[in-house]
Amino acid sequence: MTDSYLPRAEYEFSEHPIGSEQVDPDPIVQFRIWFEKEARSGERDGNRMALATADDAGRPSVRMVLLKQFGTDGFLFFTDYGSRKAIELEQNRHAALLFHWPRLQRQVRIEGAVDRVSREISEHYFSLRPRTSQAGASVSRQSEPLLDRDRFESEVRNLGGGSEPIPCPESWGGYRLVAERFEFWQGQPGRTHNRIVYLPGGDGWQRSELQP
């Protein structure tokens, strides 16, 4: 057995305790409160989230994506339908999201089932993207082998430099995760962190606190 562990991080948690009675009864409202506070903290990428999926054999994979909308109907993100994440979501609709906001010493975990959104929603959002992003999404066959990067980049430049509207590819669109479980995590000194969980119950949500 080796004693060569990684160096201990010089990081101290502030004391900002929360309990199950100090959060909103509605987890969407509570998420919005934290999300907006993260935005006010000066962090530019508070909508970054880790998306964990698994294939039909239970083998997991995870990557960072961007949240584009949230509300009572779920958490919206977009991707290429040929990507690994999309293929796994077709095999297994259950996925998990993780938001990590280190400035506030907070994390939010969300689990639920994922479905494609309507073509109308996908096309509308695609129309709002920068032209360079539209061109990249149109040329890319995400997760397939890239045999010639120079050619790929040339095709993206040529399409992006044109003047004709770039239509939303049929292979690109949105997904929405409908939450079945929330966990709000607040860092505390001595690693005695607060963990508030919301689960469906009764006519709404039941919340409780977990040990750290």
Which residues are marked as active site? 191
Q: Of 114, 132, 127, 130, whose CA–CA distance to 169 is shortest?
A: 127
Q: Distance between CA atoms of 152 and 123, rounded to whole angstroms? A: 23
Neighbour count for residue 115 (Cβ, 10 Å): 12
Look at the block and give the residue holding tokens 């997760």: 143
